[in-house]
Amino acid sequence: MIFGQILVNWLLLSSLYAAVAVGFSLVWGIMNIVNLAHGAFIIVGAYIAFWMYTQLHIDPYVGIPLTMAALFTIGWLVQYVAINRVIRAPLLVTFLFTFGLNLLITDLVQQIFSSDLRSINTTYTGNGFDIGSIHIAFDSLITATIAISLTVALSYFLSRTRTGNAILATGMDRDAARLMGINIGRIYALTFGIGAALAGAAGAMFAELYPFNPSEGGAFTLRAFVIVVLGGLGTPWSAIAGGLAFGFAETVIPLLPGVGSGYDDAIAFAVLVAVLVFKPNGLLGKAFYS
Amino acid sequence: MATDLHQSVVASPPPEKIKERREWLWSLLIGLAILVAIATIPAYGDASLLHTWTLIVMYVVLAQSWNFIGGYAGYAAFGNVTFFGIGAYTVGLLVLAGLPFWVGLIAGGVIAGMFALLLGLPVLRLRGQYFAVATLGTAEALREFVEVKDIGGRGGGLMSLPLPSLDAYPFLFYAFIMLSLLCLLITVVLTQSKFGYALIAIRENEQVAQALGIHTYWYKVGAFVLSAVPTALAGGLYAYWATGFDPGTVFDRGISIEMVLLTFLGGSGTILGPIIGGILFETASFQFQTSGLNLHNTLLGLSIVLVTIILPQGLIRFIQEFTRRSTPGLTPANRFMEGLRRVRRFIAANGI
């Protein structure tokens, strides 16, 4: 049944997209930074997974905690050393800064790993099981499970722990949070680190699912942006909602008569403009931070 | 045009106004001097030097035209390469259809202007990051469209024109210089006009500008079109200069970002900023290239990171701050120290 297969593909793709966007959404919501280096972090995560698999024979899914730790360190340092210094500058400056960072990271990855297309082929790559006529690949299913678990974990962390509450408070009102004794610089570094770590996890999972090369980062950033616009800022759940909406557009639009494949970025962009023109604050739209 | 400006200086009696207005006159003169100095390059007869400087002047033009929307109106247009690509492909298609080059060039400017108008109507309702990403996305989507539809006709959108390579001839070099001169004059007129003041008001505070009765929306659309047309002309000239190109080159988002960086490096929203920033960065970049290091993107990324952290206000304002007239009666040594102190405060206020 083709319809059931489309449904399953949509859900599996959406969960990967939720993982791509959840860190981006956190950083944007809490700090009002649109992190254009998010795609580059995802690519770094993918290459770390690739390197660990080829050199150390660590399975990409098992290696996710290590990938996340590495990306957390990078993100924490970037925020602590650089972005904290320009956080009060006009929006254009942080925007430009993260784009510069994106170029720098992408280029470094390219110098180290070359721009060849890479992929990870584990023993279970390409295998799956069938329910009726619907085929489900193992790696897609594991990805979906991990993506949803990470979102749940982030949500729990933000709402139930003291540090998580401090992050939310800083997002709501920076100055009030400082008066309550929260160290803003550290909270920002932590938030950016978590955002980068989630990007790393998404990158590792992407590396298992699809072939990749360093130039793919820009497409991820654009997608993450569209997903956040669709789902709205605010909670980790809105990334899942945005992922579902965007995954739907990307699964269904190429199936329409007269469209065909090859227009991935154009679809992402058309969805973005269509939503923004009618709902400038996103579909579920209210700005968490303003 | 120049006599008009001159008369307006003579006709204004209050002394402090004359002093204020001299700044643009100095900028204009320095800008002209720089362009004239560059225009002597073909006299050396060095083909590779000419090649390099043609590209440098092209980037200067791109930065100058980005300055209208990004520097003066303060709108973070991150997809201006769209217009560059439109200019290049219009020239390519019309030359392939057998029309003369200049028809294609003008058509490219007109089409890009209309595209900017049609695109600006929805996206200029957006603010901040939303506008930035919407423009970034336009460029990506258009690149993909040209690639998939194979507009160039040689597979993947590749276009090659049946032209002699004009690479070594100074004709296109002078065309770029004239375009840069035109942008310089437009910028100078802009800073003295109601249109320019409206754009600056939008940059400083759009809501207040609106409350003052400025039709901000139409001024923004105007600035967007104004920055699109010279970009498209530069794209058309590039098409003729390169004779072969693909969507990845003329819709490269790196070019969009380079426009922003060059303007920021020199000083966005200043007359000379894009010229100085463009010349400094591109000279350094080409120097690296000729010494065999393929570090263009690394250099670009690193420069962006450093400029945004250390000097987001740009070099021009930095120099202005240093040379601003100090309190009278200081000895030269004290005046120098005063300048240094000011610079330290300036950096502290804007970056590290």
- Domain ranges, ordered by start, for chain A: 7-113+135-278
Say if CB A169 and CB A188 are below 8 A apart: no
The secondary element (H helix, E strand) that includes residue B15 is helix B15-39
User: CA A259, CA A272: separation in Å to the nearest integer?
Assistant: 18
Set of chain B residues whose Cβ sits within 8 Å of the Cβ of A88? none
The domain A7-113+135-278 is classified under which CATH number: 1.10.101, 1.10.3470, 3.40.30, 3.40.50? 1.10.3470
pLDDT in tens, B205-244: 888 998 988 899 999 999 999 999 999 999 999 988 888 8
User: CA B146, CA B252: separation in Å to the nearest integer?
Assistant: 13
Place of tokens 């590495």: A70
Is this complex's ipTM strictly greater than 0.85? no
Set of chain B residues whose Cβ sits within 8 Å of the Cβ of A100? 257, 261, 300-305, 308
- Apex A270 CA angle, A268 and A273, nearest 5: 110
Q: The domain B35-310: what is its CATH number?
A: 1.10.3470
The secondary element (H helix, E strand) that includes residue B219 is helix B216-242
CA of B241, closest CA in chain A: separation in Å? Answer: 27
Say if CB B9 and CB B18 are below 8 A apart: yes
Say if CB A208 and CB A113 are below 8 A apart: no
Whether residues A276 and B134 touch (CB distance < 8 A) is answered with: yes
- Domain ranges, ordered by start, for chain B: 35-310, 313-352
Instruction: Give pLDDT, residue B166.
Output: 56
Whether residues A280 and B138 touch (CB distance < 8 A) is answered with: no
* Of the partner residues A90, A103, A265, the one whose CB lies closest to the CB of residue B301: A103
Set of chain A residues whose Cβ sits within 8 Å of the Cβ of B257? 96, 99-100, 103
- Apex A284 CA angle, A281 and A289, nearest 5: 55
Give me the total of CB pairs closer than 8 Å, taking one residue from chain A and one from chain B: 129
Instruction: Give pLDDT, residue B349.
Output: 61
Instruction: Give pLDDT, residue B9.
Output: 45
Interface residue B352 vs chain A (CB under 8 A): yes
From residue A53, alpha-carbon distances to A67, A137, B6 in Å are 12, 20, 71
> Where do the H-state alpha helices sit in A210-235?
217-231
The segments of chain A whose pLDDT lies below 50 read 289-290
Place of tokens 């120290």: B337
A137: helix, strand or coil: strand
Set of chain A residues whose Cβ sits within 8 Å of the Cβ of B350? 89
pTM value is 0.83
The secondary element (H helix, E strand) that includes residue B20 is helix B15-39
* Cβ atoms < 10 Å from Cβ of A9: 17
The segments of chain B whose pLDDT lies below 70 read 1-21, 164-169, 292-294, 324-329, 346-352
Determine what percent of chain A falls in helix, strand and coil, rounding each to the nearest 5. Answer: 75, 5, 25
User: CA A103, CA A116: separation in Å to the nearest integer?
Assistant: 18
Instruction: Give pLDDT, residue B21.
Output: 57
Whether residues B133 and A225 touch (CB distance < 8 A) is answered with: yes
Whether residues A100 and B264 touch (CB distance < 8 A) is answered with: no
Set of chain B residues whose Cβ sits within 8 Å of the Cβ of A104? 297-298, 301-302, 305
Say if CB B132 and CB A276 are below 8 A apart: no
